[in-house]
Amino acid sequence: MNMNTNFDKVDIKQFQHDLITWFVREQRDLPWRKNGGDPYKVWVSEIMLQQTRVDTVIPYYERFLEKFPTIESFAEADDESVLKIWEGLGYYSRVRNLHSAVKEVVQHYGGKVPETPEEISKLKGVGPYTAGAVLSIAYGVPEPAVDGNVMRVLSRILLMWDDIAKQSTRKLFEKAVRELMYYENPSYFNQALMELGALICTPTSPSCLLCPVRDHCQAFEAGVQEELPVKTRKKTTKHVEIVAAVLKNKDDQFLIRKRPEKGLLANLWEFPNVEDHGPYVQMRQGLAGYLKNELEIDTELETGTFEKVNHVFTHLTWTIDAFSGKLIGDFSGRPNYKLVCKEQLEEYAFPVSHQKIWQAYKKQYL
């Protein structure tokens, strides 16, 4: 597409003024807008907000900064507490990468978050969006911060029909932002574009009649705002049947294990479980056999499940049948397995699906 043609239709100065004026007047009162411009706090908020709703993030953000108020305090945190504070927020590699990157900043940058695109982009978990967001919001550096909101807003204003699901498309929007950027206040400009996308220029049913930049919007002029942005998608939802065991030994300790360091729900803890496709009786027997073979432990599993969890991931669905049981004899111990009392258990980070199992177990047995 010929982007110059589309820019010719925009009065850039007037657009900037209308957008910024609206943002100053209408921006939401969010916790990370009261962080004093601390680059560390801006950084934390941007990582949490990746693919995650504002309302979900707010309590996590408050708790996180209460526990780790400075970049040094977070750098010193142990891995278990880092994962625990992220429990339930999803995309757990975010916090592992953030922790790694923060330690890098403390060690090699004296605790000062880098303020150039080249340096900040080298940090783990800091991609093009986060780099631009932290640099512009914390330091006023005029870098684009192109997220889903920005692509949606600009696709409509500039009538860009490029598929935003394609990774290469982001560069087109970064180029557009550089053309439109309000260089007097990059922080406000980037935030205003995102805020407009969140409050007015929404994915469905945008509130065009309330839009401060409606007069600059080529999609509104053409009446095609509902058709933009173009976003292709595919869906291949796989279903996995799982049987899990909440096992208690004679000392009222429970058997848990740590998930692998890579892949789904990396490093989180869970109740011993195995994939199974069999009918009901075979499921239970299969689970007992698995525990016997893999862990060399004897168990007495109850005949009925006490909880059935259906958990939907983006591209995967788990159905977990949970059995309560006794752990017979001594457990010799295996790598990644632990016996813990119920108070200790709740200090480890579990996926939401296994949290549900534990809550159901407590309600029924404790």
Partner DNA sequence: AATCCGTGGCA
Partner DNA sequence: TTGCCAAGGAT
Candidates 91-99, 103-111, 239-247, 328-336; binding stretch for DNA (CB under 7 A): 91-99
User: Interface with DNA includes 55 (CB under 7 A)?
Assistant: yes
Candidates 15-23, 248-256, 332-340, 345-353; binding stretch for DNA (CB under 7 A): 345-353
At its nearest, how many Å lie between DNA and the CB of residue 128?
Answer: 5
Q: What is the number of other CB atoms lying within 10 angstroms of the CB of residue 138?
A: 21
Residues 83/67, Cβ–Cβ less than 8 Å: no
Phi and psi at residue 324, in whole multiples of 5°?
A: -95, 145
Which of 260/329 has CB closer to DNA? 260
At its nearest, how many Å lie between DNA and the CB of residue 303?
Answer: 27
User: Interface with DNA includes 332 (CB under 7 A)?
Assistant: no
Strands 238-248 and 316-328: parallel
User: Interface with DNA includes 148 (CB under 7 A)?
Assistant: yes
For residue 119, indicate whether it is catalytic.
Answer: no
At its nearest, how many Å lie between DNA and the CB of residue 342?
Answer: 20
At its nearest, how many Å lie between DNA and the CB of residue 201?
Answer: 9
In the numeric block, the tokens 């579990």 are attached to 350
- Among positions 170-199, residues that touch DNA (CB under 7 A) are 191, 194-195, 197-198
Candidates 241-249, 258-266, 277-285, 299-307; binding stretch for DNA (CB under 7 A): 258-266
CA distances from 118 to 45, 97, 122, 126, 191 (A): 21, 18, 7, 11, 22
User: Interface with DNA includes 111 (CB under 7 A)?
Assistant: no
Residues 82/99, Cβ–Cβ less than 8 Å: yes
User: Interface with DNA includes 126 (CB under 7 A)?
Assistant: yes
Print the binding letters for residues 311-330 with DNA: x by CB under 7 A, - otherwise: xxxxxx--------------
- Among positions 8-37, residues that touch DNA (CB under 7 A) are 30, 32
User: Interface with DNA includes 306 (CB under 7 A)?
Assistant: no
How many whole angstroms separate alpha carbon 152 and alpha carbon 16?
17
Candidates 16-24, 147-155, 246-254, 323-331; binding stretch for DNA (CB under 7 A): 147-155
User: Interface with DNA includes 128 (CB under 7 A)?
Assistant: yes
User: Interface with DNA includes 261 (CB under 7 A)?
Assistant: no
Of 145, 231, 227, 237, the C-alpha closest to 193 is 145
Q: Which residues contact 196 (CB under 8 A, 6 or more apart)?
A: 19, 22, 23, 149, 153, 211, 212, 213
User: Interface with DNA includes 265 (CB under 7 A)?
Assistant: yes
Q: Which residues contact 6 (CB under 8 A, 6 or more apart)?
A: 158, 159, 160, 218
Token couple for 136: 């512009």
Instruction: Write the DSSP symbol of residue 264.
Output: T
Q: What is the number of other CB atoms lying within 10 angstroms of the CB of residue 79?
A: 11
Across 324-352, b (16+ Cβ under 10 Å) vs e yields bbebeeebeeeeebbbeeeeebeebbbbe
Which of 39/325 has CB closer to DNA? 39
User: Interface with DNA includes 236 (CB under 7 A)?
Assistant: yes
Instruction: Write the DSSP symbol of residue 5.
Output: H
User: Interface with DNA includes 149 (CB under 7 A)?
Assistant: yes
Select which of 26, 46, 118, 184 is catalytic.
46
User: Interface with DNA includes 266 (CB under 7 A)?
Assistant: yes
Instruction: Work out which of 202, 293, 336, 364 binds DNA, going by CB under 7 A.
Output: 202
**DSSP codes joined into one string, 88-142:** TTS-THHHHHHHHHHHHHHHHSTTPPP-SHHHHTTSTT--HHHHHHHHHHHH---
User: Interface with DNA includes 352 (CB under 7 A)?
Assistant: yes
Q: Which residues bind DNA (CB under 7 A)?
A: 30, 32, 45-46, 49-56, 88-93, 97, 124-131, 133, 147-149, 152, 166-168, 191, 194-195, 197-198, 202-204, 231, 233-237, 263-266, 311-316, 351-353
The set of catalytic residues is: 46
